[in-house]
Amino acid sequence: MEKRRIGQTALEVTEVSFGGAAIGGLYRACSREAAMETLQGAWEAGLRYFDTAPFYGFGLSERRFGDFLRYKPRDSYVLSTKVGRLFRPVPEDQVPDHSYVDPLPFALDYDYSYDGIMRSVDFSYARLGLNKIDILYVHDIGVYTHGVEKTELHFRQFMDGGLKALEELKRAGTISAYGLGVNEVQICRDVMRRRRSTASCLPAAIPCSTAAPKPNCCRCAASSRRHW
């Protein structure tokens, strides 16, 4: 399968990737056996870029990705996950409904701060059981998820500390790239503008085109998805 390079990094990803929401139970239950069979089918088809998030099944997707990838050569695939939500255990009858069927028993809190992102990465490593995450995406930091007022608060929190956390993780080699996983193109533009104004010595954002861009979706829009 053809590959594309991620921005100015050394990472190369297959043009088709595997998104992990469904194996976390999005809209309908997904058994562990079905998840493993699906991941194996993707691997045999040549997919080598796997994307997950703590939000997908409230940790379930990350656990299943880790179980599958743990025995694959680490330099044979690229793995991305996301930051912006932290999870805490709750009784079964208090698990919030975010369209995941049979998620793990947690509730979520949004946190785009420096400490929140660092904690999120630590928790993801524990769920994955892996020693390397290649790409981190800042997840759902936009009006579609939060509304206008809360988006402004979260955006300020991210620019005041969260961005610093991502830069530190990249400099330390903990991750190789980071980007945004949001539903609004304007958020991407705002982050790029603020980022350039506060860190002009950093390389410019590089677009990562996709096979089926959608004009209003930063995760999919070839003109709007960015990695650093």
Which residue of the set 49, 56, 77, 110 is catalytic?
56
- Determine how β-strand 3-5 pairs with β-strand 12-14: antiparallel
Which residue of the set 3, 27, 49, 51 is catalytic?
51
- Determine how β-strand 106-110 pairs with β-strand 85-89: antiparallel
Contacts 24+ apart (CB under 8 A), 31-37: 32/64, 35/64, 35/68, 36/64, 36/67, 36/68
Active-site residue flag, 82:
yes
Task: Answer whether 206's CB lies under 8 Å from 9's CB.
Answer: no
What is the signed CA dihedral for 88, 91, 96, 102, rounded to 10 degrees?
A: 100
What span, in angstroms and rounded, lies between the C-alpha atoms of 77 and 33?
21
Determine how many CB atoms are found less than 10 A away from the CB of residue 136: 26
Which residue of the set 49, 77, 82, 100 is catalytic?
82
Active-site residue flag, 114:
no
Active-site residue flag, 51:
yes
List, by residue number, the catalytic residues.
51, 56, 82
